[in-house]
Amino acid sequence: MLEIITSPISFFILLSLFFIGAMGSLLLGKDDALANIWSSFFAIVGSLWGLLFSLSTIISGDALSFTDGVSPFPLLSLSLHIDMLSAIFIFIISLIILFCSIYGAGYVKHFYKKYNIGALGFFYHLFIAGMLLVVTASNGLFFLIAWEIMSIASYFLVVYDRNEKNNINAGFLYLVMTHIGTAFIIISFLLLYKFTGSFDFEAIKTGAILIPSSVKNVIFVFALIGFGTKAGIVPFHIWLPAAHPAAPSHVSALMSGVMIKTGIFMMIRLFLDILQPVPAWWGLTVLVVGAISSLLGVLYALTEHDIKRLLAYHSIENIGIILLGIGSALTFSSLGMQSLALLGLVAALFHTLNHATFKSLLFLSAGSVINQTHTRNMEEYGGLIKYMPQTAFFFLIGAMAISALPPFNGFFSEWMTFQSLFQGIISLNFSTRWIFILAAGALAFTGGLALTCFVKAFGATFLARPRSAEVTHSKESSFPLLAGMGALATLSLLFGIFSGQLTFFLEKAGNSLGIFQAAPSLVSLSRGKVLTVGNGFASVSGLAFLTLFLAVIFIVVFITQFIINKRQKIKIGATWDCGTDLTSRMEITTTGFARSIVLIFKGILKPSIQHEIEYHDSESRYLPKSRTVILGARDIHQSYFYQPLHKIVNALSLRVKNIQSGNINVYILYIFIALLITLFVIL
């Protein structure tokens, strides 16, 4: 049975389910409800099949290879290779798709009669199939086709809500950035082809020794930029806060939770598998990029009052945390410390899984809130816990998980990343050690700021009083939406409690990579399910934290209910308000909450403060009617990198436009000159 499930046919059935889902949705496009049912059904069945397939592959431990021998193109072949690493990513993709699709079945109803639901289903399924092919392709050209399917399908999903002009702009930015990234990937693949004579990943791996080290370094930089652009590393992240909020929420969850991880997957595949051995500076560069991305990501998130943009910036932060694990793994592997490298990789993989879970949960919860309030501006929320208590509870779990609070999963993967960095601090030389110290400091700082940010997000959204009329009309989400969120919230807890067992699964995936096959594990799990790193260097237990967590809750509830309130009679009356009416204007806003931190980091964030005063009498200007303070922070990369770059490209384009004369003779002259130059160069 296991053999059948882990066969190539099984994987093609998986792809076929999404293909049928895509085509069926398109054909049923005229009937919104039917298209939605068809699309959701095949997405759910497909994801269940994907989970079964990936889990069976992980359990069997065998790699699966498939090559189509009848390709008419000499360099392109339909070539797939599914090892444990690919299986882990198929598992993550399928898991998130399952719950996003359950959620989506209810969520897309508000698009009925507004947009074509069939088209949404078509691109949704195409997007999923693209992601699955990306993590399984083992031929460079075939990979690029899959990469493009994923990118183009996601572009159409970003601009799905096309009546919003901002969404169209966001989609365009995404399209441009993703293709800049693809250009870098193509150059790195062409360089690999030049020195190994093949686009096949296995052949490249075998021939990697033939690549001169200088070329290998260029390939590393180009691949880091190319895949980093998709992953959202700083400074190539600018598309992410624009595109993720624009897409429908269950698609945002998939893009943020899963799609950006395909960039991470390829970094692991290239740097830790195909191009091994690698120099130490690769790992240190990835560490620095990770530290900067995590820190800047969370700082920008703090300045946001758009709930989806806030979450998108947290994706950049978490990609940074994952890169800290990969960076330490690369550094250790280049220094021959394979066990420590394996620890770093496991930390990165674990955080990839965890981030996929809690970030999807947060995007889905945010989607439910937006669905009810019709705005993404957190300043207009407030008091939603009364109207949407279950959504608030799920958001709280997601917020706790992303803030790395035990017993939720985010804590355990960040803990493991810390252990990997600490191991570097105690075992590396002076200069390298300092980079690890700074990376660990950045991670600690990031954790604290993430917690602050989610206190702001949860408080401003769900607590206090409603700050707009829309909130008072809000209702709890429907069952499919709650089911999707509830399942992800449960997983966030379970992945934390069973972090020890999961670690071993992920370590098995790491061991499937050539350099880790003989690496002894630094992680051990005791009978009491205590996870220990490096001969008692540090220990943690999911179950112990759960017990402590429940005990604290119990004690707090018990003390409040039975000891403090026991002798007091409950009297319900109006809150004392110092003689003035309590209004939502007296609440602290998200801007106000973050102001002190934004001002501390004003050197980086470059905030702009805008005061607006409206007077009762505009001529005398003595009595102010209303006073507005707008605190904004513009992404410095946009101001100091992209805008000047845009100006240069624009100026160059205007100059280049001069060659566009409209005269056929001139065009033929260009061809003639190009031909002569080519002949001179190649002959």
Partner 1 sequence: MNILTLQFLLEIVFGTIVLLHITKKNVGAALAYGLQSLAITAILFGYFFETSNLSLLFIALLVLIVKVILAPVFFIKLIQKHELTFSVSTLISQIKTLIIIAVLTFFAHSQKFAPLTGIFPANQVLLSLAFSAMLLSLFLLINRKGALSQIIGILSLENSIVAFTIFAGLERSPALQLGIIFNIFIWLIIAIVFVSMIYKHFGSLDITTMNKLKD
To partner 1, the closest distance from the beta carbon of 680 in angstroms equals: 7
Query: Which residue lies nearer to partner 1 by CB, 599 or 676?
Result: 676
Query: Which residue lies nearer to partner 1 by CB, 563 or 683?
Result: 683
- Alpha-carbon distance values, 525 to 312, 325, 352, 538 (Å): 35, 20, 21, 12
Tell me the C-alpha distance between 408 and 540, whole Å.
13
Handedness of CA 422, 428, 429, 433 (dihedral sign): negative
To partner 1, the closest distance from the beta carbon of 117 in angstroms equals: 39
Query: Which residue lies nearer to partner 1 by CB, 69 or 662?
Result: 662
Helix/strand/coil for 540: strand
> x/- contact string, 604-643, with partner 1 (CB under 8 A)?
----------------------------------------
Three-class DSSP labels, 481-514:
HHHHHHHHHHHHHHHHHCHHHHHHHHHHHHHCCH
Query: Which residue lies nearer to partner 1 by CB, 623 or 664?
Result: 664
- Residue 640 CB partners (closer than 8 Å, separation 6+): none
To partner 1, the closest distance from the beta carbon of 463 in angstroms equals: 57
To partner 1, the closest distance from the beta carbon of 655 in angstroms equals: 17
Helix/strand/coil for 179: helix
Strands 523-525 and 530-533: antiparallel
Q: Does 681 bind partner 1 (CB under 8 A)?
A: no
- Nearest alpha carbon to residue 485 among 353, 311, 356, 361: 361
Query: Which residue lies nearer to partner 1 by CB, 583 or 661?
Result: 661
To partner 1, the closest distance from the beta carbon of 665 in angstroms equals: 5
Residues near partner 1 (CB under 8 A), total: 14
To partner 1, the closest distance from the beta carbon of 683 in angstroms equals: 5
Residue 514 burial (CB count, 10 A): 12
Query: Which residue lies nearer to partner 1 by CB, 639 or 678?
Result: 678
Three-class DSSP labels, 610-668:
EEEEEECCCCCCCCEEEEEEEEEECCHHHHHHHHHHHHHHHHHHHHHHCCCCCCHHHHH
The correct pick among 647, 672, 674, 677 for binding partner 1 (CB under 8 A) is: 672
Query: Which residue lies nearer to partner 1 by CB, 559 or 668?
Result: 668
To partner 1, the closest distance from the beta carbon of 661 in angstroms equals: 7
To partner 1, the closest distance from the beta carbon of 335 in angstroms equals: 49
Q: Which stretch binds partner 1 (CB under 8 A): 267-275, 303-311, 470-478, 672-680?
A: 672-680
- Alpha-carbon distance values, 445 to 174, 285, 317, 449 (Å): 30, 20, 11, 6
To partner 1, the closest distance from the beta carbon of 667 in angstroms equals: 9
To partner 1, the closest distance from the beta carbon of 656 in angstroms equals: 14
Tell me the C-alpha distance between 518 and 328, whole Å.
19
Query: Which residue lies nearer to partner 1 by CB, 539 or 678?
Result: 678
To partner 1, the closest distance from the beta carbon of 679 in angstroms equals: 7
Write down the residue that tokens 């195409």 correspond to.
126
Query: Which residue lies nearer to partner 1 by CB, 563 or 679?
Result: 679
332 contacts 321 by C-beta, under 8 angstroms:
no
Tell me the C-alpha distance between 455 and 450, whole Å.
9
Identify the H or E element spanning 539.
strand 538-541
To partner 1, the closest distance from the beta carbon of 486 in angstroms equals: 57
To partner 1, the closest distance from the beta carbon of 664 in angstroms equals: 5
Q: Which stretch binds partner 1 (CB under 8 A): 117-125, 257-265, 267-275, 675-683?
A: 675-683
> x/- contact string, 642-671, with partner 1 (CB under 8 A)?
------------------xxxxxx--xx-x
To partner 1, the closest distance from the beta carbon of 673 in angstroms equals: 10
Torsion of CA 352, 354, 359, 360, to 10 degrees: 100
DSSP calls for 30-97? TSHHHHHHHHHHHHHHHHHHHHHHHHHHHHH---EEEE-TT-SSSS---EEEE-HHHHHHHHHHHHHH
Query: Which residue lies nearer to partner 1 by CB, 72 or 662?
Result: 662
- Nearest alpha carbon to residue 38 among 99, 158, 46: 46
Write down the residue that tokens 């990997």 correspond to.
420
Query: Which residue lies nearer to partner 1 by CB, 652 or 674?
Result: 674
Beta bridge partners of 99: none
Structure tokens at 363: 């995007």
Query: Which residue lies nearer to partner 1 by CB, 622 or 680?
Result: 680
Query: Which residue lies nearer to partner 1 by CB, 555 or 669?
Result: 669
The correct pick among 586, 675, 677, 678 for binding partner 1 (CB under 8 A) is: 675
To partner 1, the closest distance from the beta carbon of 176 in angstroms equals: 23
- Whole-angstrom Cα Rg for the chain: 26
354 contacts 261 by C-beta, under 8 angstroms:
no
Tell me the C-alpha distance between 169 and 519, whole Å.
48
Query: Which residue lies nearer to partner 1 by CB, 572 or 683?
Result: 683
Tell me the C-alpha distance between 526 and 540, whole Å.
11
Query: Which residue lies nearer to partner 1 by CB, 557 or 668?
Result: 668
* Half-sphere exposure at residue 586, Cβ-oriented, CA atoms within 13 angstroms: 8
Residues at the interface with partner 1 (CB under 8 A): 660-665, 668-669, 671-672, 675, 679-680, 683
